[in-house]
Structure 1
Amino acid sequence: MSRYVEPSSVNGRVVVRDVTVVDPLDGRRSPGQDVVVEGGRITSVTATGAPATDAHVLEGRGRFVVPGFMDMHMHALNTPKDVDGTYALMLVNGVVGFRQMSGNRALLKARNQGTLPQPAGAPALKATAGDLLTPLNASTADGAVQAVREQHRDGADFVKAGMTTRDTFLAALQEANRLGIRLGGHLPADLDPREAARAGVWSVEHLGPGVTVFAAASSKESEVRAGNPTRKLPPIPRIKIPGAEKLAMKLIKGMVTNPATSTSEVEAHAYDLADGSYDQRKAEELAALFVEHTTWQCPTLIRVHTQQFGDSPEHTEDPRRRYMAPEELRTWDKSSKKFSRLPDVTRNALRNHWDAQLRMTKTFADAGVPMIAGTDACGAAGIIPGFALHDEFGHLAEAGLDPLTILRMTTTEPARFLGEEGRFGRIAPGMPADLVLLDEDPLESHTALRAIAGVMRDGSWWSRADLDAVLERIAAEPGAH
């Protein structure tokens, strides 16, 4: 049961009648269509006929239907026993599936046993990693290899590199490739992204993070790299003692709320140097390499924005904070105060880097680098689950991406990314009945993706009025993380 989402009364056989179907694959609009759903699947998409008498009929005239949205970088199941509020916000915003970017053995076991929470309207867990690769489990190359083997054994869908060095990252990647499990995540500061691409890294998150990718597009690359130090991590116990893992994860959580609060002036100088020596030719060469090796990018622009503008009223006074659990907001506010105490030179370098991130995103998109939309919601300061995906759409548009590209990044591209092309992400017979009904044309503007008239998840329908009622319940008892 959900505290916030009441079970749908519209399910079974449902017809979305006389609607314009939008296909993200080719950008085609097909007006005057009846989309028939039954048993959690789309059974037919045909020209509008006589009203059905044996089904729930949803009138779609003047509206547009698109596949449900995927958030390909989330941490919703960091709190598996208290995920209800997060899931509810995802439903309200048309998010029907996600990739969990941090897991553990218990989470993998619960997933395999089918015991993960599934409140009404819950999104689909499309993929999950095991434990992040950090100095706790991957302080050496041998340790990184062993961690990959254990996650492969436990049934992880992929391995995520969190805090590694070049040597531990490449050792883990080589073993992952040998075992046939994908590895993606954060590139360490001392690793050339071109080397990672050639070695077969699956995905790069947050455009790096840091300056690593931008160094490869600098005319002063060697100088930028020399001034881009690997961050020193807080002391983490290296021996197996009771509570060591919990202590380590608490330390890591404190860092990831907003890593920018730990930016040194040396790092700030590396940002300034990289951005001031940007070389478009080198950026395009890097993009071409990513295309050649199918190195996916998940920019999470909303994440980097909340980091680099950590004390901006846009985030600290966001009215949607009313949906977040109070303890979460206390952590965010503590982080924003820490950010505000950074030296001006550091804060300016972080803020000025935003334009470089938009430029790089556009360069990648123009070159055809494969990209997916993600937010890093749940644990990251200033990011409101569900709503953050629409914030991401806005930042992608700010970078210059067109509406169709943005729609693909949250529908058909996630299917291709996960090796499930043709299994979800389109409105077609046999596809999951995960739909979003829009009042506006999503091929005209990305803003149409938030003009939600209703959401269908696994064949159950929630109208705009239903979704607004969900928001009221969350605001009355804030519980999202």
Structure 2
Amino acid sequence: MSRYVEPSVVRGRVWLRDVTVVDPLDGSTTTGQDVVVEGDRIVSVTATGAKAVDAHVVEGGGRFAVPAFMDMHMHALNTPDDVDGTYALMLANGVVGFRQMSGSRALLKSRREGTLPRPTGAPALKATAGDLLTPLNAGTVDAAVRTVREQHRDGADFVKAGMTTGETFLAALKEANRLGIRLGGHLPADLDPRQAALGGVWSIEHLGPGVTVFAAASSREAEVRATKAARKLPPIPTVRIPGAEKLVMRLVKGMAVNPATGTSEEEAHAYELADASYDQHKAEELGALFARHTTWQCPTLIRVHTQQFGDSPEHTADPRRRYMAPSELRAWDKSARKFARLPDSTRGALRGHWAAQLRMTKTFADAGVPMVAGTDACGAAGIIPGFSLHDEFDHLAEAGLDPLTILRMTTTEPARFLGEEGAFGRIAAGLPADLVLLDEDPLQHHTALRKIAGVMRDGSWWSRAELDAVLDRIAAKPGAH
């Protein structure tokens, strides 16, 4: 059950009549279609005209049906005992699946045992890692290799690198490749991203983070790297002692609200140097390398924007904050005050780096680098679950990506990314009954993706009015994390 989402009365056999079906795979639209659902599967997609028998009929009125959305970088299960508000916001925004970026042994155990929470309308957990690689569990080459083996044994879908060195990252990557488990995440400051691609890294998050990817596109690359622009880290233990794992996760959680509050003068200088010496030819060469080696990118532009504009009213006074749990807002506001105390020059460098991130995203897209949409929602300041995926679409469009590319990044590309190509991400017979009905054509403008007339999740249908009621209930008792 859910505190916010009431069970749908439209489920079982559902007949979605007279819609325009949009196929992200080839960008085609087919008008006058009936989508028939039984249980959690689509059973047919045919021309409108047949009589609906023993079915709930939803009149599409020519609106546009698209596959429901996936957020490929989230932390929804950071609070596994209280995901209801977050999941409800995701449903209201058409988000039906996610990749959990901060796992644990306990989370993997709960998934194996089938005890993860599943309130009404809950999204699908598409993939999760084990514990983040940090100096505690990956402080040496041997420890990194051992941790990868442990996570493989425990059933993790991938290993997430977080706070490693170039040496320990590459050791973990080599072992992951040997075992057949994917490794992705954050590149360490002392690692050339080309080494990561050549080594077979699965995904790079947040365009780095930091300056490492941008150094590779600089005409003064050696000088940028020589700045040693490593972000300040909390004092993480390097020896496993009782309770150390919990201590590390508390430290990581506190830093993750907005890592930019720890930006050093050296890092700020590195951003300015890299941005001033940007070399488009080198950026294109890097993009071509990523494309050749299928080095996925999850830019999370909304995440880097909330970090680098951490005290901006568009985030600190966002009216959608009314859906967030009070404890979250207190942490966000504390972080905004800390960000505001950074030197003007540091905040200026962070703001100035935004244009470079947009430019790099477009360069990668033009080079054919595979990309998925993600937000880093849940624990990150200024990011409202569900809504933030649409914010991400806005920023991807700001970078110059076209509407079809954006639609693919949240539908068909996540399926390919997760090795489930053809299993979801389209509206076709036999696929999951997860779709969004839009009032406007998403191939004309990306903003159509937020013009939601209704959402079908797992074969249950919620109309716009019912989704608005969900939002009203969350606002009345905020509980999203």
Matched with 2:107 is 107
Separation in structure 2 between the aligned mates of residue 237 and residue 162 of structure 1, nearest angstrom:
15
- SS of corresponding position for 1:137: helix
Matched with 2:326 is 326
State the 1:231 CA deviation.
3.3
Whether the 8 Å CA contact 2:231–2:267 is kept in 1: the answer is no
Alignment of 1:9-408 (within 5 A): 9-408=9-408
Q: Which residue identity lines up with residue 342 of structure 2 in the other structure?
A: L
Whether the 8 Å CA contact 1:257–1:379 is kept in 2: the answer is yes
**Per-residue CA shift, 1:354-375, capped at 9, x if unaligned?**
0000000000001110000000
Q: Which residue identity lines up with residue 15 of structure 1 in the other structure?
A: W
- SS of corresponding position for 1:80: coil
State the 1:252 CA deviation.
1.2
Whether the 8 Å CA contact 2:232–2:263 is kept in 1: the answer is no
Separation in structure 1 between the aligned mates of residue 232 and residue 21 of structure 2, nearest angstrom:
51
Whether the 8 Å CA contact 1:456–1:462 is kept in 2: the answer is yes
Whether the 8 Å CA contact 1:70–1:97 is kept in 2: the answer is yes
State the 1:253 CA deviation.
1.1
Q: Which residue identity lines up with residue 414 of structure 1 in the other structure?
A: P
- SS of corresponding position for 2:334: helix
State the 1:247 CA deviation.
1.5
Structure-2-length-normalised TM-score = 0.99
Matched with 1:441 is 441
- SS of corresponding position for 1:152: helix
Q: Which residue identity lines up with residue 16 of structure 1 in the other structure?
A: L
Whether the 8 Å CA contact 1:227–1:266 is kept in 2: the answer is yes
Q: Which residue identity lines up with residue 250 of structure 1 in the other structure?
A: R
- SS of corresponding position for 1:44: strand
Matched with 1:454 is 454
Identity %: 83
Separation in structure 1 between the aligned mates of residue 306 and residue 372 of structure 2, nearest angstrom:
19
- SS of corresponding position for 1:8: coil
Whether the 8 Å CA contact 2:231–2:264 is kept in 1: the answer is no
- SS of corresponding position for 2:125: strand
Separation in structure 1 between the aligned mates of residue 133 and residue 244 of structure 2, nearest angstrom:
16
Whether the 8 Å CA contact 2:211–2:229 is kept in 1: the answer is no
State the 1:251 CA deviation.
1.1
State the 1:232 CA deviation.
4.3
Matched with 2:7 is 7
Whether the 8 Å CA contact 1:211–1:228 is kept in 2: the answer is no
State the 1:229 CA deviation.
2.9
Whether the 8 Å CA contact 2:232–2:262 is kept in 1: the answer is no
State the 1:175 CA deviation.
0.2
- SS of corresponding position for 1:85: helix
Matched with 1:417 is 417
Q: Which residue identity lines up with residue 259 of structure 1 in the other structure?
A: P
- SS of corresponding position for 1:160: strand
| Uncovered stretches (5+) of structure 1, i.e. residues with no partner | none
| Change in CA separation of 1:232 and 1:447 when aligned onto 2, cut-off 3 Å | closer
Q: Which residue identity lines up with residue 375 of structure 1 in the other structure?
A: T
**Per-residue CA shift, 1:188-222, capped at 9, x if unaligned?**
00000000000000000000001100000000000
Separation in structure 2 between the aligned mates of residue 335 and residue 428 of structure 1, nearest angstrom:
45
- SS of corresponding position for 1:82: coil
Compute the RMSD of aligned alpha carbons.
0.8
Whether the 8 Å CA contact 1:20–1:32 is kept in 2: the answer is yes
Separation in structure 2 between the aligned mates of residue 228 and residue 317 of structure 1, nearest angstrom:
35
Matched with 1:428 is 428
Q: Which residue identity lines up with residue 387 of structure 2 in the other structure?
A: F
**Per-residue CA shift, 1:104-135, capped at 9, x if unaligned?**
00100101111100000000000000000011
| Count of residue pairs the alignment pairs up | 481
Whether the 8 Å CA contact 2:424–2:432 is kept in 1: the answer is yes
| Uncovered stretches (5+) of structure 2, i.e. residues with no partner | none
Q: Which residue identity lines up with residue 128 of structure 1 in the other structure?
A: T
